[in-house]
Amino acid sequence: MSNKLIDKFGREINYLRLSITEHCNYRCFYCRDDEHAPNCKREDILSYEDIQRIVRLFAELGVSKVRLTGGEPLIRRGIVKIASLISSVPGITDMPLSTNAHLLGKFAGKLQKNGVNRVNISIDSLIPEKFEKITRGGDVHEVIKGIDAAIASGMSPIKINAVAMHGINDDEIESMIDFAIEKGIDIRFIETMPIGNAGIEAADQHMSEQAILAKISQHLEGRLIPLISKKTDGPASNYKIKDTNTTVGIISAVSNHFCQTCNRVRLTAKGDLILCLGQEDAISLKDAVRSNLSDEEIKQMIIDAINKKPEKHEFNTVVDNISNRQMAEIGG
């Protein structure tokens, strides 16, 4: 059995996005329907032992990067223990965290000591009232405390992610870049994605990569230096900002899809392996690890699943196939 996961389009899968909870302490309008509540009992979600075994099997198949996501991963009880278990798996060399940072002030130091080497923080506005409205109750001051705690802990790089939305926060693109430069951290702007009813309803606020880049370029006036992505990097087009410690990037899942370089799969908190954000195909690894299947049999299941990974997502042409999932349920 090969120690590399390569799909039928020749893409090497070396990155697992691992959701550890569907729950979140924010309710961002483009991520979750207003009335949606996670239907997730403790026995439904992956246990510590499930997580450690699945990550070990992926590592034996060549995965070296595991990102902790949610929901909001910091509200999962035992988050520090989960980080410690994953970082102790041979072959896992990179364990970033995706968070809204509301609780990061409390956890940053402990997580950094237990293997979380870097962090992506969602922050869609620096204006308290607007931030509260987007997140339906969030506190931007707590998020900024979390960013400062991550900086103090030594995590690096620290990236802030903002979903760029026409008529919502497109007037803050410049001030958010300035904020990132001031903090010495990186920033990425993300196109809205039509995932779940919430994402589909937010389509009117969609800003294309071209529109976002135009605003960035105008603000930075010739200071953008294009960067070449590393093998395990995500899908952003990244630029170094001259004379700063900051990079700026754009993730354009809709207007300029990045599927030809896709190197990841997603594991939901309930243990479903999702091969593509824009498709419904999934297999249950929770059922597999809780059965009497051997490690080799489960690894073969993973290999067979990877061979079904589609060439690309179809956000532009097929909405129905993704409308029944919430973004919060599939780990962003």
Is 2 a domain residue? no
Q: Is 19:71 a contact under the CB 8 Å cutoff? A: yes
Tens of pLDDT along the chain (332 residues) come to 778 999 998 999 999 999 999 999 999 988 877 665 667 777 899 999 999 999 999 999 999 999 999 999 999 999 999 999 999 999 999 999 999 999 999 999 999 999 999 999 999 999 999 999 999 999 999 999 999 999 999 999 999 999 999 999 999 999 999 999 999 999 999 988 654 454 455 567 889 899 999 999 999 999 999 998 776 666 778 999 999 999 999 988 665 555 777 889 999 999 999 988 656 678 999 999 999 999 999 999 999 999 988 887 554 444 444 444 444 455 55
Q: Specify the pLDDT at position 300.
A: 96
Is 64 a domain residue? yes
Q: Specify the pLDDT at position 185.
A: 98
Is 1 a domain residue? no
- Domain containing 139: what range? 15-329
Is 75 a domain residue? yes
Q: Specify the pLDDT at position 80.
A: 98
Is 5 a domain residue? no
Is 262 a domain residue? yes
| Structure tokens given for 251 | 């993730």
Q: Is 51:79 a contact under the CB 8 Å cutoff? A: no
Q: Specify the pLDDT at position 323.
A: 43
**Can you give the CATH number for the domain in which 174 is found?**
3.20.20.70
Q: Specify the pLDDT at position 216.
A: 97
The closest alpha carbon to 216, from 185, 233, 237, belongs to 237
Number of domains in the chain: 1
| Structure tokens given for 16 | 């697992």
Is 80 a domain residue? yes
Ordered DSSP codes for 292-329 = T--HHHHHHHHHHHHTT--SS--TTT--GGGTTS-GGG
Is 6 a domain residue? no
Alpha-carbon distance 242 to 167, whole Å?
29
| Structure tokens given for 158 | 């620290």
Specify which residues 98 forms β-bridges with: 120
Q: Is 103:149 a contact under the CB 8 Å cutoff? A: no
Alpha-carbon distance 72 to 19, whole Å?
9
Judged by DSSP in three states, 40 sits in: coil
Q: Specify the pLDDT at position 319.
A: 40
